[in-house]
Homo-oligomer: A and B are copies of this chain.
């Protein structure tokens, strides 16, 4: 039983057209508003009122929480087409920040919820999105709860590979800090894991933000705990 196989294949960061249907929903299209955001800019902060929810037109956004001591936990990265900034409450649960220059479509929350409530197809879509999101969150729970640093980093690289549909020259669009905050590690540990993989010839990195994987299977084994390392 390839237990984690399905778990580790997350949704596509780059090419999801998850809510393409949104665009076909007249009320939503009418209320939508596209905004440009530069890399590093914050869209909203944890605890803010949440009058809008958002959908990525281009670029990548991260959503994270900040702890009292300043450490951060990145909940998720969102790519083209993905919806974010939604919660059952009236306030944002995370802080959202662009990690590349972005174009982001915003929908007034009440209009969005109203549209979801009255359009069966939209509702269905939204449900699927939420279930998939939950699935993703739980993959991360397994990763954070039970995997070693090497396994976490390896899983993350494999996720990027599957999202970019190639093992050649895969781009890391986020900083080491973002990776660390996402994987529950420190920046140094991420570096060391990458260095380790490089030294073992399992990945090739022509630059700090670009990597190639000669043999994906070996990395799979490592991610799943078969490699020598825990």
List residues of A whose CB falls within 8 A of some B CB. 1, 3-4, 6-7, 46-47, 65-69, 71-73, 75, 86-89, 91, 93-94, 116-118, 120, 123-124, 126-128, 130-135, 137-138, 140-142, 144-146, 183-184, 224-226
Contacts of A226 in B (CB 8 A): 68
Q: How far is the CB of A17 from chain B (nearest CB, A)?
A: 12
- 22 A-B pairs, CB-CB below 8 angstroms? A1-B46, A3-B65, A3-B67, A7-B65, A67-B146, A67-B225, A68-B225, A73-B141, A73-B142, A75-B138, A86-B131, A93-B138, A117-B124, A123-B127, A126-B127, A127-B130, A130-B131, A133-B134, A134-B134, A137-B141, A140-B141, A146-B184
> How distant is the Cα of A118 from the Cα of B94 in the complex, in angstroms?
32
> How distant is the Cα of A3 from the Cα of B95 in the complex, in angstroms?
11
Number of copies: 2
